[in-house]
Structure 1
Amino acid sequence: MRIGELSRHTGVSTRLLRYYEEQGLIRAERSANGYRAYRGDAVATVRQIRALLAAGLSTEVIRDVLPCARGEVPALEPCPDLLATLRRELDAIDARIDALRETRESLADFLRATAGAPA
């Protein structure tokens, strides 16, 4: 299928599909006229990518995790280093949450001191 058709089936813009290809997340063959041609399983792959992005993973991590993805949801099957990768990402998210909590508390302290109001 061509890129426009893949876009229609997935709801993902052609620009974003080209980006996924550039990042090594999907592959397209080139026809004689230079058009991209995607295999039929590209729809499921794009849906997997979207679900993994929604889970907070970067395209770099998704490139490593994608071979373990099965189905459009996706379900992740055990692959080498998969658990370590997901734990590392979860730890990074937890660290960002902690940093945001600290930042929020500092800002709330400034607000309380300045306005005398609860934050």
Structure 2
Amino acid sequence: MSKQLIETEEQFDQLTNQDGTFVFFKHSLTCPISQAAFQEFEAFASAHEDVPTYFLQIQNTRELSSYVTEKSGVKHESPQALVFSGGKVKWHASHSSITREALEHNV
């Protein structure tokens, strides 16, 4: 399963209404730190195709980004990775704390 772009609140709600575990990434298209973290997210996704991975592009979906913050209860940062399990956040990180290894350890 490859990473999938999420663009609506409805799509996000469908994800959080499932029982499984997935990784969600908030990506800023203009930030070099976000680009580096996104590469780590992509490396994780490529190595773990059994784990669903999703992302949003903050500049294109600001309302969705705010909605994810509201629903997750985790203060917005960018870049940001959130691991959901059973609809709840079980781990999150931002900036240079987002690494393939950190994702592997926390999924």
TM-score, normalised by the number of residues in structure 1 = 0.26
Which structure has the higher relative contact order (CA within 8 Å, separation 6+)? 2
Q: Which has the larger radius of gyration?
A: 1
Which structure features the higher share of helix residues?
1
TM-score, normalised by the number of residues in structure 2 = 0.29
Which structure features the higher share of strand residues?
2
